[in-house]
Chain A
Amino acid sequence: MTDKTPYFEIKDLHAATEGKPILKGVNLSMVKGETHALMGPNGSGKSTLANVIMGHPAYEVTAGKIIFEGQNVLEMEPEERAQAGIFLAFQYPVAIPGVSVAKFLKSAHDATHGKKKLNPAAFLKQLREHIKYLEVDDAFINRYLNDGFSGGEKKRMEILQMLTLQPRFAVMDETDSGLDIDALKVVSKGVNKLTGPDFGLLVITHYERILRYIHPDHLHILIDGQVAQSGGPELVKKLEEEGYDWVREEFGQEVLAH
């Protein structure tokens, strides 16, 4: 029997930046081993939610809770969240000139693996395997992190980091945007390597396309900082055919009815 108690939970989350409210009461709950998708129009707050989960200092949480495996995530520093097994694949990964991919990945691996650190040779072996798996050029690891990387390279780099860190819960923020079908397949392959009974995934996306490769158990639709609809995979089809307008309407009516 699978454990149905939520291991990742967001409760009535409110967040603001520069005094402007963006998240206005987000609720979301995931059971271990599940993949959820989060969709929603531009500007609805998807990236803000992802950043708040990871602890971005630009956002102020004004109310609500995030619980991961019983821990109060909002009280943790970003690095503590990473060390606890939370990962965010950024929508717009920043470039860090002067910091090489290999060196960075080793420090990140060491920082998140506590006593299970690898020696440099074993680490490099593992890194090479991941690189091959993601069909990335070997020269990649000696380059500076995201510096001069194409959009697609940056996205692969995020997945490479995810494979290296082996998180237990990951948020992928529009990792699929800007990828051609081949790149999308590679990225999905990387993600599916991690999925399993001990891994939870929240896929933020704009397009239904990726959901053909990564199959969500649940889908949430975020509108104006709130989850307006939640449902099973059948929602994907409906969104594909009808767009967001019906969600807005239903949600709007619901709001009015209260």
Chain B
Amino acid sequence: MTGMTIAQPEKIDTLLPGLDNEGLARVQAETPSKLLQEKRAAAYADYRQLAWPTVRDEEWRRTDPSLFPLAEMQRLPDLAAQDVWTAHPWDAEFDVVVAVRPDGFAIRHQNHTARELGITVLPLAEAAATRPDGVEPYLRGKALPTPSGKFEALNDAFWNFGLFLHLPAGVQWERGLLVRYEMDQPDSLLIPRLVVVAEPQSRGMMVERLQSPDDIRFMAVPQRELYVQEGADFKLVSLQEWGLNSYQVSNDWGLAERDANLNWITLNFGSARSKMKFGGDVAGPNSAADMDGIFFASGEQHMDQRTLQIHSSPDTYSRLLYKGAVKDVGRSVYQGLIIARPGAIRVDAYQTNNNLVLNEGARADSIPGLLIDADDLKCSHGSTTGNLDPEQLFYLRSRGLSEAAARRALIQGFFEEVIDRIPQAVIREQVHQHIEQKMES
């Protein structure tokens, strides 16, 4: 390392306008619940103390934090529930739909199913005000790491859209929730906060769709917190389609208790630059986490994803498969870490990251890792990075497919294992289209 100069990132001042004392005071004035006021104040104290990450932090070494124009963004005032409804073709696939826009959000029940099952989909502020005891343990709860990171603390202090989803014990919710973001206000900052609690033996699913137009600059700092309790099963699919001038730093945490199953699928196609972190903790014996991801960075996109498979209990299972492609001068980073806490014996943990580098000039970095403080575990991590296999290309071409068609088939095929795990045909189709468009662009 001697003689190497590390580029100094532009310093983001600790207190950005709107994300400072004054900003907090304004936010607190808008916050109706005492519980939330306390949580925000505590988070703000952390946020003030924490330094902004720099490229000297291992986690940010390949994704310079100064490339995110946070300082130039205006935090949107707290989004309020109001009639901002516009219909969306996917709505019919779900029981409940939440439409989020810069000027507010709307929650719609498409039918009676969720209410009949006793499922709660509420603005987080309202949930905290009306049932503080039901929210308190799950907001900055034990799924989150301590100490908090800067962006987590920022989200906790300044979130401007919050949603609370609660599944009572034993309910089987097939069709689930769609949360769709349609953000089109230039230079605005959206800070979404999602809390999901799936009570024992319940089963449910939610999908997020994140969209903004290509021609506006926009930034999102989402945080999601998921509690999958004893024997419950919860699946989250997040389709990131932010416009090509948008930025995102997200932090997501899920915790699976005894016998529970946590399943998280991230689909990253949009944004100029994005950095996501997802930590899944299989925290109770016999719990399992399935973590799947697709990312495709084309043009000048930069996508960074970090995953943590945290085994804090014995007899736990986690399986991760992240598949990415880079094209043009696109760039991707995948950093994975399997963590087995002391005493976490009889653990099965699998981590696979496959990258397709479709042309010279594109780049994919893959950094798998293990942090093991236990023995008696089955653990594997592997990654591959390369272009399409010439033998496979030839095989398809020998059957009459043009080179372009053969490449498309192989690239779609490369992602298919993950696409197959998406429950909704409409979303699988959308993913195919994204891949197709990226191939053609």
Contacts and interface: CB of A to CB of B under 8 A. Distances in A.
Interface residues of B, number: 24
B215 interface: no
Given A98-B415, A99-B409, A99-B413, A93 B395 contact: yes
B394 A56 contact: yes
A176 B416 CA distance: 32
Given A57-B390, A58-B390, A79-B402, A97 B397 contact: no
B396 to A, nearest CB: 7
Contacts of A57: 390, 394
A55 interface: yes
A78 B398 contact: yes
Nearest to B414: A98
Interface in A141-185: 144, 161, 165
Contacts of A135: none
Interface string B383-422: 0000001111011111111110110011011111100000
Contacts of A81: 398
Nearest to A54: B398
A161 B400 CA distance: 11
Given A78-B397, A82-B398, A112-B399, A98 B392 contact: no
Nearest to B412: A98
A94 interface: yes
A90 B413 CA distance: 21
B399 A165 contact: yes
A230 interface: no
A57 B394 CA distance: 8
A165 B396 CA distance: 13
Contacts of A108: 396, 399-401
Interface in B225-255: none
Interface string B105-147: 0000000000000000000000000000000000000000000
Contacts, number: 80
Contacts of B402: 79, 111
A56 B394 CA distance: 7
Given A58-B390, A107-B409, A97 B417 contact: yes
A13 interface: no
B435 to A, nearest CB: 11
B395 A107 contact: no
B325 to A, nearest CB: 13
A56 B398 CA distance: 9
Interface string A92-110: 0110111100001001100
B397 A79 contact: yes
Given A79-B402, A107-B401, A96 B396 contact: yes
Contacts of A111: 399-402, 405
Nearest to A86: B398
A112 B398 contact: no
A56 B390 CA distance: 9
9 contacts: A78-B394, A79-B400, A81-B398, A82-B399, A97-B414, A98-B413, A99-B413, A99-B416, A112-B399
Interface of B: 389-392, 394-403, 405-406, 409-410, 412-417
Given A96-B392, A96-B410, A108-B399, 8 more contacts: A55-B394, A55-B397, A79-B400, A79-B406, A82-B400, A83-B400, A93-B395, A144-B413
